[in-house]
Amino acid sequence: MPDEAPLSFEAGLQQLEAIVKEMESGELPLERALELFERGMKLSEACRKQLEEAETRVEILMRRAGEMQPQPFRNDKG
């Protein structure tokens, strides 16, 4: 199975929701249930990684913002 293009976080969540609905809908053949479960686990892992990456980026931005020293406003008029 070739690697699929990475999904956006939102698209991954939508697919996860669709999988959950299908699995909750009731009677699925065992093979289909296993297929959905496997796909759901992969999507869940991909979404988790994206969240971790976003968290790291936010931490870096917050750290950079904390390092910036505010400069006093200088009004040369007067």
Radius of gyration from C-alpha coordinates of the chain: 23
Alpha carbons 40 and 10: distance in angstroms, whole number: 14
For 52, phi then psi, to 5°, come to: -65, -40
**In this predicted structure, what is the pLDDT of residue 26?**
82
Q: E strand or H helix at 49, and its extent? A: helix 30-67
Domain 9-65 has CATH 1.10.1670: no
Cα angle 11, 41, 25; round to 5: 80
pLDDT in tens, 7-42: 899 999 999 999 999 999 888 999 999 999 999 999
**In this predicted structure, what is the pLDDT of residue 77?**
61
**In this predicted structure, what is the pLDDT of residue 2?**
44
Could you give the maximum distance between any two Cα atoms of the chain, in Å? 82
